[in-house]
Amino acid sequence: MSTRAVIPGAVGLCLGLAWAFAVPARGAEPAPADPFAPARNRMVERHLVERGIKNPRVLEAFRTVPRHRFLPPETLRHAYDDESIPIGLGQTITPPFDVAFMTEALDPKPTDKVFEVGTGSGYQAAILSRLVKDVYSVEIHETLSKRASEVLKEVGATNVHTRVGDGYAGWPEEAPFDAIIVTCAPRKIPPPLIEQLKEGGRMVIPLGGRFNQTVYHVTKQNGKLITKELRPTLFVPMTGRAQREAAGTQEKEKP
């Protein structure tokens, strides 16, 4: 144990200085505490870190983005549980682990231009906004798109660009994209997304039927796709053209 001399009066001086810096200046409003911060940090440790999410930039994004802001008020008590929550029109907000898993698999870079199919609540886009240069997100439901756009602006995700449309068609005016993430499940990769993915680009997409889906990591090399199965999953089916094509395929397969 080490010892050090104490100068008379120094203790009082230090306490006085500490008190002076601890008390806000007159007229200054103290920064409001975020009552959801402890729950958000628990979510990150319990549902992300303990289940294998390692990318420090991804983890920091989840610590800072307020998931509760993207939820209906009546569901706030479940805001930081690892579960999907209905947001209306048959859509849900994806559980935090699934969002983190797909985000980490996408390997987002600070210079990336990313396209997202299915804005939904806006939470995935908000996470990406902390990790990449620009996010372009399409939502087929106008009501959800409008609500998500408003919340994204409120939380400072000013580099997220949204519009209403069928994500199957991509966003050709802004292509090519460094990375594409799809938050609904078609049966096969929409050809426009392949075309709009930059050479060397990455895509993370769930594929399959209503109750039998797998998340795939896709890279584009020399114009060809290299796919890798990642894990089983369960997302809402992709609607619009993908849904019509799936229905047509099922009709043809009937005996």
Instruction: Give the tens place of pLDDT for each residue, 2-36.
Output: 444 444 444 343 334 333 334 444 444 555 678 99
Q: How far apart are CA 255 and CA 225, in angstroms?
A: 33
- pLDDT band, residue 230 (cuts 50/70/90): very high
Question: What are the b/e assignments for 69-79, b being 16+ CB within 10 Å?
Answer: bbbeeeeeeeb
According to the model, what pLDDT value does residue 248 have? 73
Number of compact structural domains in the chain: 1
According to the model, what pLDDT value does residue 30 have? 52
List the domain range (segments joined by +) for residue 147.
Answer: 83-253
Q: Is residue 25 part of a domain?
A: no
**215 pLDDT above the threshold of 50:** yes
Q: What is the DSSP letter of 31?
A: P
Q: Is residue 234 part of a domain?
A: yes
Q: Is residue 212 part of a domain?
A: yes
pLDDT in tens, 159-200: 999 999 999 999 999 999 999 999 999 999 999 999 999 999
- pLDDT band, residue 207 (cuts 50/70/90): very high
Mean pLDDT of 68-73: 96
Q: Is residue 130 part of a domain?
A: yes
Give the chain's mean pLDDT: 89
Q: For residues 109 and 253, which has the higher predicted lDDT (pLDDT)?
A: 109
Q: Is residue 24 part of a domain?
A: no
